[in-house]
Structure 1
Amino acid sequence: MHNDLQLITVNVQSKDLQLFTVYVQSKDLQLFTVYVQSKDLQLITVYVQSKDLQLFTVYVQSKDLQLFTVYVQSKDLQLFTVYVQSKDLQLFTVYVQSKDLQLFTVYVQSKDLQLFTVYMQSMDLQLFTVNVQSNDLQLFTVYVQSNDLTLITLNRQSKDLQLFTVYVQSKDLQLFTVYVQSKDLQLFTVYVQSKDLQLFTVYVQFKDLQLFTVYVQSKDLQLFTVYVQSKDLQLFTVYMQSKDLQLFTVYMQSKDLQHFTVYMQSKDLQLFTVYVQSNDLQFFTVYVQSKDLQLFTVIVQSKDLQLFTVYVQSKDLQLFTVYVQSKDLQLFTVYVQSKDFTTFHCLCAV
């Protein structure tokens, strides 16, 4: 007896499999039942009852799959139905009815996928349509019509994706374009133009990500840039300019994080800087400058914390300093200077 499968029962009757029944009872699947009848599979029925799937039913009829139906009833999916007809998939239809998706329909026709169409009707997506033509996907087009997305069009050309383009036109996204070229992604570019995003651009080059750049221009984000170079992340840089974040910069170098730096400039944080070097954290420094914290500095060195220092300067705490040395805390010192405490010294030696 196995922990995952508390009970497995198989009943097989007759040479031509007039009746084949399997009962599976386990922790995650309260009841799993399979009925198979006849050599040519005139009827296959599967019942699955579990915690997340109240009812799961599959009907398969005939060798060439004239009719294939799946019913799924669960908490998040009130009804899920799949119809498959014929060997070459002349018609493939999926109906999904749930709380967030009122209707989801997929049509697939022919072996080479001369036409692939998806209709989606839901609260947020009034209509979602996909057209796919030919084996090598000479043309792949997606039309989406909804309240927030007036039109989404996707054009894909060739097997190696010489050109992959997405146009999105809606109330919040005036234009959204994606270009993908070649198998190894020599160039990957995304343009987003909208009211809140003036320009959004992504460049990806080579398999090992020699250069990855993101530009975001909007009302709240004046400039957002990301540079990623090489597999081991020799350089990772993020520039963010906005109303609340004047400048946000991240530098990451090497797998073992020889140098990790963050610059943050904003209204509440004038400067925020983090330096991390080496796996064992030989040096870790944080600078914070803001209205309530004039200066906040943390220095951590070595695994056994040979030196741990915190500087805090603010309105209520003129100076707050903590020194910690060695594993057994040979010296622990706290300096607090504030309006309430002119000078507060705590020296603890163990």
Structure 2
Amino acid sequence: MARTADPPTPAQAAATPAPVPPAGQAAATPVPVPPAGQAASTPVPAVPTAQTPVESASVSPAAQTATVPAPAASTPQTPQVPQTATPAAPTTPAAPTTPAAPTTPAASSGAASVPPFGAFLDSGPSGVARMSELSRWLGGTELKVAHTYLPGGRWEDIEGSPGFLDAWAKWRRDKADRMLVLNVPMQERNEEDVPDAQVRVLLRQAAAGAFDHHFRALAERLVGLGVPDTVIVLGWEMNGITYTHRCGPDPLAWRTYWNRIVATMRSVPGQRFRFDFTPSRGRDAVPWTACYPGDDTVDIVGMDAYDQPSGLSFDEQVSEPYGLQQHVDFARSHGKPISYPEWG
């Protein structure tokens, strides 16, 4: 059952989250929440075992030397007319294949292990290029997580317009222990101040299946690019007022819509997506618990947490209604790992 809260005081209300985090902001890796009293373990990608190369068989000089007999004398013969061979028909070239999907890194524990991490540096291909610069700035530390956002201007953007995801997919495929985190809007015109009444109409259309085909197209594109294990941060900060994909105008329709999107994307053959439910910290416009769509369609419970409003101490951010402590407690009670896709 969704929980509600009394209207917030000014000190409790979380400010409207920024639509896109600033450069240098860390993209958090989902962290499992252990049961009470049990130590958390950090997932560490499995290290591939090097294979011993097969040595080529050696051949002794004696075996390599062949004796050529002298030609025997023979009677000259009439030269034969050379025969013209019919050229063989050319073979049809093989059709291009879909890039092989990388193996999802296996989780393991270890006291000295460092959790995979990364940072949001830009939504486009330049974000991939900047990762090497950040790695050098960190003294050569390898980034294992890439984080980007699909534009929410038009539906073709949300489907993953051709070329937009190519560089990100290549980076992910290059090493098996990497992770791609992708924020996906649930509505077009996502930052155009669409009024609540219109959002309510859109949510009810969405709950009836009007937009399912856009998310099937996105899932097929991701699988085709060889990144079927992408972490999908779907409809983030839905408890606020910034985005057209917000939950407040009709929470029931919003939850139904989320479930339709997840079911649609999971129906695409080859997919291994994980879906991250990420509200903003605090109550915001509505309690984020009212938007939670259910355990069957949520793999990770995230939270975007910024150091705002001004003057709110960290302890208050932890203890406020729908704050950091409630986030952790909620995830634990639902058996979900946690993440912080945006913070700062």
TM-score, normalisation: structure 2: 0.21
Whichever structure has more helix as a proportion of its residues is: 2
Q: Which structure ranks higher in relative contact order (CA pairs < 8 Å, sequence separation ≥ 6)? A: 2
Bigger Rg over Cα? 1
